[in-house]
Structure formats: C-alpha cells, structure tokens
Structure 1
Amino acid sequence: MVLLHPMKNHFVSLLVTILTATSFYAQKISLTPGTYSAYLQLNETTQLPVHLTVEKKQKRLLLVVHNAEERIELTNGIRKGDTTILPFPNFDSELRFITDKKKEIRGFWFNYNKGTNYKVPFFANLNQKPPKKASPSGDLNGKWETHFSPKTADEESALGIIAQKENHITGTFRTETGDYRFLEGFIEGSKFYLSAFDGSHAFLINGTLKDQKAQGNFYSGKHYSTNFVASYNPNYELRNPDSITVIKTTDKAFGFELKKVDGSTYVFPNNETRGKVVIVQIMGTWCPNCMDETNYYKELYDKYHSKGLEIISIGYEAADSFEEQAKKILTLKQRKSLEFIFLVGGKASKGIASNQFKMLNEVISFPTSIYIGRDGEVKRIHTGFNGPGTGDVYIEYVEKTNALIESLLGISGSK
C-alpha cells in the first residue's frame, strides 16, 4: 500500500486533488445506496461496529460514517485497479477496499499517525433487514463514575454521560484530558456497547450492566485495550479543567521560543502580539479533541481577531522530522482555512511540551490552552477539551470562554 502525502507546491497539490477526484468519480463507487452493517476487526474475537451508509449526493455515491450526531463524509478518493482509496477529511488516515456484488466491502483502515504499517481489517454488508434486538434489562441513562484500568498505576477516572432510548444508547466519557467524542451503540438484555470511529481513533466500550453497576472492556484500535468499572452516580464530578495546569512561579509573565512552519524562529511575546489578547494552543493534528477545539477557535478568531485577539497554535506531531511535522500542520491550516500563527513544537510528546514550557507545572494533555491578557499575564490555563459530544458541558464552556475573551478585550455583549 502506498501512503499519499500532500505536495509541497500548493498548485501541484491542487492539481493532484482535482485529478484524483475526477478519476474517482469517473469510475464511481460500485455500491448500492443504503445502510450497511460494518465493523473493524480489532483482533480475532473483537469487532468494533461502524455506523455506515452509502448515499447519493449530486448524482455521486459517497460513504458516510456516523457517530451519533457526527457525520463524516468520505469523498475525494481515487481508484487503483479494483481498489477504492478514501481519505478521512480531518486526519492522516484512509479506507482502502474492494467491493463485491455492489453490496459488500472488504479492505483495511490505515492510520498513518500510528505508522505506515498500522492497518485494521474493515468489512461492510448492505443491511437488508436489521435483526430485532432483545429488550434491555437495565437503564444506562444518567451520569456514571467510571474507572479505566482500576486499581493499577494506569488508572484513569472518567465521567460517563449516557442517554438511552429503548435499545439505542449515545453519549461520551469525559476525562481530565478530554472526552471520547460521539459514542453510539445498543443495549440488549444486560449487554451493551458504545463505539466511535472518526479516522484518528477507533473506540469500543462493551460490557454488562447489573444493579446500576457496569463493567467490561475498552479498546482503542488494535493497539490498546483495558478493563473498566462504572457505577451510577448523579453527583460525580471531575476536577475543574482550569485548575489542573498552573504557573509554577509567582511571576505571571509567559514566554517561549519555537520554530515557525517555515523554519524561522518565533519568540513570544513580541511587538506583533504585545497589547493583544492571546490564546496559546498546545495541540496536535492527530488529536480529535484538538480538532474540536480548533474548530471552536476558528469561530473565536473570525469573531474577535479584528478586535485584538490572536491565536498561536503549536503542533506536536507523530512524524519524526521537522519537515514532516511542519507539513502536517500546514495541511491542517490549509484544509480548515485557518489564519492562526502556527508553530512546530516537535514530536507528539507531553514530556517534550512540558520541557518547552517549564513555567508550567506539567503539560498533561493535548490540547492545553493558555489565555493571556493585554497586559501579558496569564489569565487562565485550560487542560484538555470537552467538545460537542459532551452536550451541555460544551455549550457552557463556549459561553464562559466567549465571555472571558470579551472581558479581556474590553468589549461587552455578543453581537
């Protein structure tokens, strides 16, 4: 299999995109539109359900991956012989498959952030008549105190937020470093599963429910698995994400020196940012929570940049060389039409980020954001990101952050 990389020359890149899209649509996907029973084969015994439809759009067929409210359209693909190659729109990954009798898909999911040889078998069949599901024997609605890898050195606490309607369940798990995004699944009898597949991560949580307690297993792709325990607890809360990462000294001044994507040196603070409100975003293009945050920051930038807001995004990438790291960051900038200042932090390592920002106690999460006022002082440090999959939590965060930015800019009201 050949990895397709973005071209350095923007004109060549645009030309290649046009030619590959034309090639793909000229040959067309030979699949019947409809809902498909799809899954990733994580190991010999474990399948991760994928909610997949084939749809007709402007006389063209496309594959759509659904994760609860999230909809991911796979387009701009190419054909190589009998193989269809469909890249995911937000991450360096793709589906490669062949079709059979217009109703079956057989292939692999390639995730190049995990290496050129990271692939997981992918299968799908047109779902003519979904089997009837057994009635659930319990209720998963509500908040669940959850512990992954319980009673080990790697234990991680989480808050499960689940909604159940008959057999159908949706929700997410919040941790102190982010959320598990849009999870969707079913419960039959006492057994349940929740899954999400966005091109960067493939999450599966399956378990059993009894007497308001749950236990089971968590899988992330084919490379990681652990167990979990959960109990219904409407009063359970995590630490405030604004209290986890802090400035270690009493000096509230904040500064750093890193490379821009063109290789030149960037020093902060500087004359261009002095007197502005600045958000410094520690992130990675491979990180779904970071992409959720970046989508929100684009809205902030478009609304408040002319009033004095600047955003500096520092990418920590899976690639080894500076050139490849910069390329991934530039691809994100172009794909989302972002006008932020982009810097290269280096390898995707929280240890590297912590060493570069020694004034902080520790960088424990991608993303981490530092909010700086016009006076150059740090006003807030936010660890992780709880995105749209968290519902009301995300809405409240957006309201509070918009209000903070307006306060720091010295403006009032959202108009």
Structure 2
Amino acid sequence: MKRSIASLLLMLISATTLYSQKIPLLPGAYSAYLQLNETTQLPVHLTVEKKQKRILLVVHNAEERIELTNGIKKGDTIILPFPSFDSELRFITDKKKEIRGYWFNYNKGTNYKIPFFANFNQKTRKKEFPAGDLNGKWETHFSPETTDEESALGIIAQNQNHLTGTFRTETGDYRFLEGTIEGSKFYLSAFDGSHAFLLSGTLKEHYIQGYFYSGKHYATDFVATYNPNYELRDPDSITTLKKDNTAFNFNLKTLSGTDYSFPNPETRGKVVIIQIMGTWCPNCMDETNYYKELYDKYHSKGLEIISIGYEAADSFEEQAKKILTLKQRKNLEFTFLVGGKASKEIASEQFKMLNEVISFPTSIYIGRDGEVKRIHTGFNGPGTGEVYAEYVNKTNALIESLLGITGSK
C-alpha cells in the first residue's frame, strides 16, 4: 500500500511549519539507538542543536554530519525526512528529554520501519580499558566458508576507546563507521538514512570474530585477520568490455519518457562518463557528489555525464520521479536516464557489451574518439580517506588527459 497523497503533501510543507511550533527537546548529546531485534541495538550518534533560532536533529557518523531540518509536525508526531534518501524519522517527545518513534525506509517498502529511541544524556560513563589494538588493515570475510562469502578490507583507527573506519568491498565501502572498544568487545555503526550498519565483535590478539547487521532484514557473521598487506582487486579490472568487438551503445528513456540513444550528435567528440547508479545507494550518492565537482569544473571544456538510475520503485513514473528528485535536490545538470528496476541483471542485459554489471555504481569513461578508456566498479568514497583522495587525483588526471588539458594544477 503506497503512502497517501495527503502524506506526500505533508512532506512538501516547508520547514517553518515544524520550527514555528518548535521541537520540544533540550539541546545537547543524546543516547540513541535503533532496535534491530529483541536483543540488538544499533547505536546512533545524535545531537539536538540550535541553528539560526531553530532546533534541529543531527546524526553523526564519524566526520559525516547529517542535518534533519526540513520536516513537519502532525499532531504530536514530528516527521523529519533524511536529506538524501527516501526515508524519515517519525517520533514523539516526552519531557523534552526523550524520543520514541520509528525510522521508515521507503526504498525497502512502505512498511519497512525500525523502532528508534533517544534520551538526553549529559553524563559520561567510565569505559573499560581496551584489551587490544584495532588500528590498521584487516582482511575480512563476511559469511565465511559459505557460497555467499564476500571479502572486504577493514580499515580501522583507534584512539583509546574510540573507533572510526570503514570496510571496503569490491562494490564500494561501508562509508563512515564509528564506535567503541571496551575490553575485547567492540562495535562500529553507521546510520545515514539509507543504510543502518552495525558490526560487533570480539578481538583476540590479531583476530576478530563478529556479527554484521544491515537494518533488520540482513545479518551474518564475519571474521577478520590483521593483515597490513591485504588488498582487493583493482576496481578498474573487474568489469570489462567483451572481446567480441560489440560497439558501446544503448537506448534508454529520459525522465520525460522519450527515447535516448548513445552515441549521438550531442556527445560526439566529447569526453563522456556513463554512470550506472541508484538514488537509494549511498556509494552512488558519494560518487554523484564527486561527479558534480567534475562536471562543474570540466563541462565547459567538453565533459558530459550521463547518469542512469536503477530504482527500487516498480513503475517508470515512480522511478523517474525519484531520479528527478535527486537531480533537483543536488542541482545537477547531467543528462539523466531511467534504467528501470534496481537490478544488476537488468543493467547487465542493457549493457551487453560488458562482461557483467556487478555493482551500483559502475562508471564507464569514454574518450573524444568514442572509445572506452576505463570501467570503474563500485566507489570508495570520503569514508576511505587516502583511498578516496588517490582516486580523485587519478580520475581528475584521466579526465584532463582525455580532454587534452595540459599544465593543470
């Protein structure tokens, strides 16, 4: 059952509707969590802050800051949408110190919700001294010794009890993780409006045994071994062109439903990035933020970006609406197309000249001569630190080379 028109209209009401009534919460740090199941809580780093005479909620994931501002109040329920994804917090407050409600993630269905709680907390509890050191690189295997096993590279920084880091896979990273170690027990979590990740485990010298939760719908065990030399496959080597000399071309629909073919006269002689993505995908949104910088800097010199959205919605109209919302929200001037349902099988079928599409996002870089120069699988965003910085430098250099720009700094 879809959200009613009335509910959608409420989401469009300006922030002044909410803030004119004032959120009845004390500013400060809150102890917050998502109740994933009867026994498992995912910690959420939450503050309530004053900004320009308004009260807002801020979700923190390490250095990431997500402000929940553009909301409404319906009766005694406060509704705060996440700024980048089709999800929201709905809650009531009590005595200015307590939040009780739910996180709704509409990309997983209209009834996908997880209980959310928060309490005003100005006291700091003394933590047990860490019994080990998590600093460094960890060779990680999710669902080990099963047909679903996935390898990853954990990158963790520890400062006394405080942990930050991420896990890189061949399809992207787990973004900004933050947590705590006490004794030999630790956790790392992230909550960005699209994903709710929790990794909890036990450290035994240079070995980790733990459990991973993604929201309430997925959970698996994992193991990790300290390994400073461990690396994943090069993301430029995973998805490749087939060796049958099939030309790189496709025909899809624009957001208005008209046919769009590639190549075409508008892109001939241009450097083009084809981005296969979804608006529900945090790694895709990190990549889109970077591509906006690229486009703003190099479009006038001959760069075009064609972004193809594969969405959780069922109908073309709903898929196009989600993509249009992203385009308008981020003020993007790329060309946007509708790929269809969020399915790697569908994307692989539409791009038969590739061996396969295994990840959202996947990007294809095409030179002025119309030839494919690079195919990049997944995206390692700002949460990966030096890995992201190296990728940006490498990609900027590639674009400048393809555009024929010399002497740029």
Shared fold, TM over 0.5: yes
* Aligned residue among 69, 75, 82 for 2:76: 82
SS of alignment partner, residue 15 of structure 2: helix
1:138-171 deviation line (CA, Å, top 9, x unaligned) = 0000000000000000000000000000000000
Shift of 1:211: 1.4
- Is residue 396 from structure 1 mapped to residue 390 from structure 2 by the alignment? yes
Q: CA deviation at 1:3?
A: 3.8
Letter in 2 for 1:180: Y
Say if 1:146 and 1:157, in contact at 8 Å, map to a contact too: yes
Aligned with residue 360 of structure 2, among 350, 362, 366: 366
How many residues are aligned here? 409
SS of the residue corresponding to residue 25 of structure 2 reads coil
The answer as to 2:162 corresponding to 1:168 is: yes
Alignment of 1:159 with 2:173, yes or no, is no
**Residues 126 and 258 (structure 1), Cα distance of their counterparts in 2 relative to 1, 3 Å cut:** same
CA-to-aligned-CA distance 1:59-98 (integer Å, 9 cap, x gap): 1100000000000000011000000000000000000000
1:136 aligns with 2:130: yes
Amino acid paired to 2:185:
K
Query: Which of 156, 159, 172 is the equivalent residue of 1:178?
Result: 172
Contact 1:253 1:378 in 2 (8 A): no
SS of structure 2 residue aligned to 1:304? helix
Report the Cα offset of residue 413 of structure 1: 3.5
**1:406–1:413 contact (8 Å) kept in structure 2:** no
Q: Name the structure 2 match of 1:309.
A: 303
Please name the residue that 1:29 is paired with: 23
- Among 183, 197, 201, the alignment partner of 1:207 is 201
CA distance in 2, matches of 1:148, 1:361: 25
Deviation at 1:130, TM superposition (A): 1.9
Cα deviations by residue, 1:90-132 (Å, 9 ceiling, x for unpaired): 0000000000000000000000000000000000001120211
CA distance in structure 2 between the aligned counterparts of 1:335 and 1:346, rounded to whole angstroms: 21
- 5 Å-filtered alignment, 1:92-107, equals 92-107=86-101
Displacement of 1:414 in angstroms is 3.3
CA contact (8 A) 1:253 1:377 kept: no
Distance in 1, matches of 2:261 and 2:5, equals 30
Unaligned runs of 5+ in 1: none
Equivalent residue, structure 1, for 2:321:
327
Structure-1 residue corresponding to 2:108 = 114
2:222 maps to what in 1? 228
Residues 140 and 222, structure 2, Cα contact 8 Å, conserved in 1 = yes
Contact kept, 8 Å, 2:310 with 2:339, in 1: the verdict is: yes
8 Å CA contact 2:142, 2:150 repeated in 1: yes
Partner amino acid, structure 2, of 1:329:
I
Q: Distance in 2 between matches of 1:7 and 1:268?
A: 39
Question: Residue 69 of structure 1 aligns with which residue?
Answer: 63
**1:195 to 2:207 alignment:** no
**Deviation at residue 250 of structure 1 after TM alignment:** 5.0
| Divergent runs of 4+, >4 A | 4-8
Distance 1:328 1:68, change over 3 A: same
Instruction: Kindly indicate whether residue 374 of structure 2 is the aligned counterpart of residue 380 of structure 1.
Output: yes
1:292 maps to 2:257: no
Taking the aligned partners of 1:295 and 1:64, their CA distance within structure 2 comes to: 20
**CA 1:5–1:392 in 2, change beyond 3 Å: closer, same or farther?**
farther
Q: Using a 3 Å threshold, how does the CA distance of structure 1 residues 63 and 7 change in structure 2: closer, same or farther?
A: closer
Closer/same/farther in 2, CA of residues 5 and 88 from structure 1, 3 Å limit? farther
CA distance in 2, matches of 1:7, 1:42: 26
Is 2:283 the partner of 1:275?
no
Judging changes above 3 Å, is the alpha-carbon distance between structure 1 residues 5 and 188 closer, same or farther for their aligned structure 2 residues?
Answer: farther
Taking the TM superposition and a 5 Å limit, the aligned residue runs for 1:43-62 are 43-62=37-56
1:178-215 per-position Cα deviation (integer Å, ceiling 9, x unaligned): 00000000000000000000000000000000011001
Residues 386 and 394, structure 1, Cα contact 8 Å, conserved in 2: yes
Deviation at 1:253, TM superposition (A): 3.4
Mapped partners of 1:115, 1:157: distance in 2? 29
Could you tell me which amino acid in structure 2 is paired with residue 303 of structure 1? Answer: K
1:52–1:16: structure 2 CA closer, same or farther, 3 Å change rule? closer
**Counterpart of 2:182 in structure 1: which amino acid?**
E
Unaligned stretches of 5+ in structure 2? Answer: none
Q: Deviations over 1:231-288 (max 9, x none)?
A: 0000000000000000012527311000000000000000000000000000000000
Which amino acid counterpart does residue 273 of structure 2 have in structure 1?
Answer: I
TM-score normalized with structure 2 length: 0.98
Distance 1:258 1:333 in 2: 18
Query: When the two structures are superposed, what TM-score results if normalisation uses the length of structure 1?
Result: 0.96
Q: How far is the alpha carbon of 1:222 from its aligned partner?
A: 0.3
Matched residues in 1 for 2:167 and 2:6: separation? Answer: 34
Amino acid at match of 2:164: T
Contact 2:247-2:353 within 8 A present in 1 as well: no
Aligned partners of 1:169 and 1:186 also within 8 Å:
yes
Residue 7 of structure 1, CA deviation = 11
Structure 1 range deviating more: 127-136 or 271-280 = 127-136
- Counterpart of 1:240, as a letter, is D
One-letter amino acid of the structure 2 residue matched with residue 224 of structure 1: Y
